Every structure is written in structure tokens, then in C-alpha cells.
Structure 1
Amino acid sequence: MIAPETVAIAFIGTGVMGKSMAGHLLNAGCNLTVYTRTKEKAGSLLEKGAKWAGTPGEAVRNAKVVFTMVGYPADVEEVYVGKDGLFENAEEGTYFVDMTTSTPTLAKQLYKEAKKRGMHALDAPVSGGDIGAREARLAIMVGGDKSAFEDVRPLLEKLGTNIVYQGEAGAGQHTKMCNQIAIASNMIGVAEAMVYAKKAGLDPENVLKSISTGAAGSWSLSNLAPRMLKGDFAPGFYIKHFIKDMGIALEEAERMGMEAPGLTLAKSLYDELAGKGEENSGTQALYKYWE
């Protein structure tokens, strides 16, 4: 097992969630180097002692463990491959932990490439949004070699509280698809319930007190419905990234010969919102569909 205070870490991607996650590793005593496309986004981490790298390749030199948390599968490929990418510049024995929600297919490709180079690759997407990242309470679902998972577990424990090994490479991403499928239909229900409460002349916040702890209870109802009611649509998780995730899940479902009517409906509603300029809003902006 790798002790946080003894290891050099590279963290690639310091956006809404990545910045908080990298901060927890820095606070745990890790020797941290960061890279993100916009240096300003890493400003608070650099002020606390993190080192800056101009490319992913520069970030990974001398790092034992590399975390990646970027936007899209294409972004994952971009940071891992090529002359300035992670694979070409990392040392044998390096551990890669991709926490981006990406495709199971790509996760398997990264695993095979790492294996070929004498390295370790895990797919470890997360759930919990900006709140979970900030409070180190993320759910982390992991695919890859069990031994590599056990080695980096002490580091994952600095980021989340529900850390589950799911199986071989790609299993973490498949589990995240299950997560996103469950959220997609639930978000429709949460938004509809709040709109219904308002139209019925009820106090929606009072309604939340009754329904959030009963059978209707969910993370989205407790954490995102209050944001809807306050008109707070800032991104804890971007609509554009949720659309990406739902697209991956639909492709995987089709590949398995499975129909997903709830997921299909949810994606169509979010696609409509994105078409109206809401792609950079948080997923709770689904509430606006009824306005």
C-alpha cells in the first residue's frame, strides 16, 4: 500500500471537482504536481505548495501515482497518448487512476497499454458532485487489477468514503453508467415534484421536509432540489458532461441489446436545454424545462 505522505503524485485536471480532490491529496502530505489547460484554475493549489507542469508529460516525470480528472473520453486520450502524454513520459511501475467518466472500451485500452509498458491502470469514476469532492465523500467505483487497487486505496480514501472494487478493467466505468442511468430518471422526478409543489400552491421547501426522508428520498432530492428552489443553477456537475455520460450509457445499452426508455427521455430533455444555451449549467437546471 502507498502511504500518501511518502509519494509523488501528478494530478491532471483541476476543474469543478478535480481542484477539491487534488487539494485533499495535498493536505494529506503528498508531493503534488498539477496540470490543467487553464493555469488559473490551479491557482489555489499552487498557493498551497503544489508544483505546476506545462504538459501532462512534464507532470508525470518522477510521479509514482497519476490521477486524471478531465472532461470527455477524447480529453482522456489526449493526456495519455502522444509525445507529451502520460504513457510516453512515465516510469515503469507508475500507477494511473482515471477518475473521468469515460467509456469502458477506452478504460480497457488504457489498461492494456499500461500493462504492456509495465505500468498499472485503474478506471475509477466517481459520484457525489462538487459537494462530495469538496467534503471528500465521493463514491469511487474501481476497475482494473485488484492488487493495484489495494496499493492505491490509501490515496482513494483521502477522496471518498464509499470505495468499491468492481472487477476487471472497464468495470468501474460500467458501474458509473449504472449510477448515471439511475440519476437520469430520478432528476426528472425531482424537478417535476418541485414544479408540482409550486403549482399546487404549496411551500416547496416545506414539501421537501416531508418527502426527502421518506420513500422518495434521494441524493438529488436532498442536495439539488434546494438549489432548484433558490434559482441556483451553478454547476456542481455540468449538463454538457451529463449528456456525454448518458450518450455513453445509451451506446453501451444498445451494444448489449437493452432498451433504456427512461434514460432516452432524460437525455432528450437535457439535449433540449443544452440547445437553449444551458450546457454549462448544473444538472439541477432541468427545473427550467418547465418554466
Structure 2
Amino acid sequence: MKTIGFIGAGVMGKSMAHNLLKAGFALNVYTRTKEKAADLLEEGAHWKESAAELAKESDIIMTIVGYPSDVEEVYLGEGGILANAKAGSFVIDMTTSSPKLAEAIFEKANKAGIHAYDAPVSGGDIGARNAALTIMAGGDEANFDYILPALQAMGKNIVLQGGAGAGQHTKMCNQIAIAAGMMGVCEAILYAEKAGLDPKTVLKSIEAGAAGSWSLSNLAPRMIDGNFEPGFYVKHFIKDMKIAIESAETMQVPVPGLKLAKELYDRFSQAGGDDKGTQALYQYYEMMMSKAE
């Protein structure tokens, strides 16, 4: 088993790292706050004091951090991964980030003899816990089999979409579909409640029909129960939508549904919703209804 270095122990990252340990991989970890990695260290992971130290002592380096600026810092900075990883090692950024940045990392890694992949994920906290994530990869096909066992420890639907940046472009497609869909889920649940129906009973009918979606089956029940804890943060979803809009505009692709969803999430963010789960958009709809009444 190769030694994996893992950077990022957030809502999803911690579960992903746990599943790598469960699969038998030797694991080095680094996070800005060591306390966030305490559970992983108890399970047998090895703490490293910096991204540079982790990179030097790992065969495969995985990252899942917050924003493109974090990705740029951890990969391209003087004390970053590419300046310290061994030639022949593999780097996999699983953050949802900019396709252009993924291409830049690939090019710099290639010059150093390092194999780089962008591999953002979908499935939220549930998919991360259950090792059932969808993993969308971009990079060279020739070496993909080397990292596949590690990806299989975290996900079930793993597809190499194309060259560098293809994983990030695919994740943008995913987020575009979710953004408009989330508005529909919120509106359907509110409509059911206003019509005097039991929304949980309504779900039994509509989630099995043409309206069915992951968000409807997994996030609508949380809306109904008043559970707005983050499986995926509002602030990170806004970041993703911003990247998707910028990429779409570069390609001259119209995305009015995406822009409307971002506008609603921006308003919810301004009302204090940044650190809630994406399903909390439901609360913004409730706020709009209260004002209308």
C-alpha cells in the first residue's frame, strides 16, 4: 500500500480520510488546526507539521480545502506541495475549484515530474461517511489506475472525464444542476405545507417519480425536520456557483437558473446563512413568505 498524504479535515474531508485508513492505507495528515485531525490521529494517521513535510513523505497527496485561493496556496506556494513533492509522486486536488487553476497545477506538476489530477466530489456528508462519493476526475489516463484504489476507498462512481480541468468542469455541471434543483425542492415543500399536506407523505410520491433527485430524497427531509446543519456549507456552494458562472460566461453559455439561485443564496448569506447547510435555503423562502404576509 502506498502512503497517502491528506490535507483537509472538514465536513467531508475527515470522513474521506477515515475511509482511507479503513481501507488499510498508511496516512499522513496536515490541517491548519491540529485539533480537527485528532480523531484521525487516534485511528492511526501520522501528523505532519506542514504541507511541505507531508508532501515529502507521501506517494499520493490528496487535498480538499475551502477555496481556489487555498488550493493555490497549498500547491503553488514556496512551502507548498509542488515545491516539495517527490518526482514520480501523485497529487489529487478534490476541492471544487477553478478549471483554469487545475490546468495550471497540472502544467507545473508535469514540469517537476509529478502526476496531477483534479478530482472534485459530490455526495455531501452522507456520501463521504459511506464511502459512496461520486468522483469526477481530470488528468492523464495512462497513470489513472495507480490512484484508482485510493479513490475507490472513498467513492463508488469514479469517472475519468478527460484531461486536466475536466473534473472541475464536470463538477460545475453538477453544481449547475443542483442550484436550480434546490430552488425547486424548497418550493415543492413549501407548497405542500401551504396546501395542508403532510410534506413527508408528499415526498413518498414525488421522489419516486419524474421529480426524483438526490436533493429531494436527502435534503428535503432535513428541511422538513428543521435540520439545517451543514453537509455542505452555503458559503462553499456560493463559491462554486461563482466559479460556474464565470466559466459559463467565458464559454458564452447562458445560465439564468444558476444566476437566480446564486442571487437567492447571496441574500441568505447576507442574512447570516453562510455556515448552514445548502438545504437552509428553505429558511430564506420562509422569510420571503413571512414578509409577503
Shorter-chain TM-score tier:
over 0.9
1:125 maps to what in 2? 120
Matches within 5 A, 1:209-288: 209-288=204-283
- Say which SS state the counterpart of residue 143 (structure 2) adopts: helix
> 2:29 is matched with which residue: 5, 9, 34?
34
CA shift, 1:150, in A, is: 1.8
Over residues 128-155 of structure 1, what are the superposed CA-to-partner deviations in whole Å (9 max), with x where a residue is unaligned?
0000000011000110100222211111
CA shift, 1:82, in A, is: 2.4
- The number of residue pairs the alignment matches comes to 286
1:167 maps to what in 2? 162
**2:42 is aligned with 1:47:** yes
1:122–1:148 CA contact under 8 A, matched in 2: no
- The whole-number CA distance in structure 2 between the counterparts of 1:94 and 1:270 is 39
CA shift, 1:83, in A, is: 2.9
- Say which SS state the counterpart of residue 139 (structure 1) adopts: strand
**2:205 is aligned with 1:180:** no
- Say which SS state the counterpart of residue 62 (structure 2) adopts: strand
Over residues 251-291 of structure 1, what are the superposed CA-to-partner deviations in whole Å (9 max), with x where a residue is unaligned?
01100111110000000000000000100100000101121
CA shift, 1:38, in A, is: 1.4
One-letter amino acid matched to 1:258: V
TM-score, L = length of structure 1: 0.97
2:76–2:105 CA contact under 8 A, matched in 1: no
2:231–2:277 CA contact under 8 A, matched in 1: yes
One-letter amino acid matched to 1:250: I
**2:96 is aligned with 1:101:** yes
- Say which SS state the counterpart of residue 146 (structure 1) adopts: coil
- Say which SS state the counterpart of residue 195 (structure 1) adopts: helix
**2:66 is aligned with 1:71:** yes
- The whole-number CA distance in structure 1 between the counterparts of 2:136 and 2:239 is 18
- Say which SS state the counterpart of residue 82 (structure 2) adopts: helix
Over residues 6-60 of structure 1, what are the superposed CA-to-partner deviations in whole Å (9 max), with x where a residue is unaligned?
2111000010000000011111111111011111111110001101112111111
One-letter amino acid matched to 1:208: L
- The whole-number CA distance in structure 1 between the counterparts of 2:272 and 2:35 is 25
Give identity over the alignment, percent. Answer: 62
Q: Higher mean Cα deviation, 136-145 or 83-92?
A: 83-92
Q: Higher mean Cα deviation, 249-258 or 148-157?
A: 148-157
- The whole-number CA distance in structure 2 between the counterparts of 1:36 and 1:148 is 28
One-letter amino acid matched to 1:86: I
- The whole-number CA distance in structure 2 between the counterparts of 1:131 and 1:232 is 14
Q: Higher mean Cα deviation, 54-63 or 185-194?
A: 54-63
1:58–1:84 CA contact under 8 A, matched in 2: no
- Say which SS state the counterpart of residue 162 (structure 1) adopts: strand
CA shift, 1:62, in A, is: 2.1
- The whole-number CA distance in structure 2 between the counterparts of 1:145 and 1:43 is 35
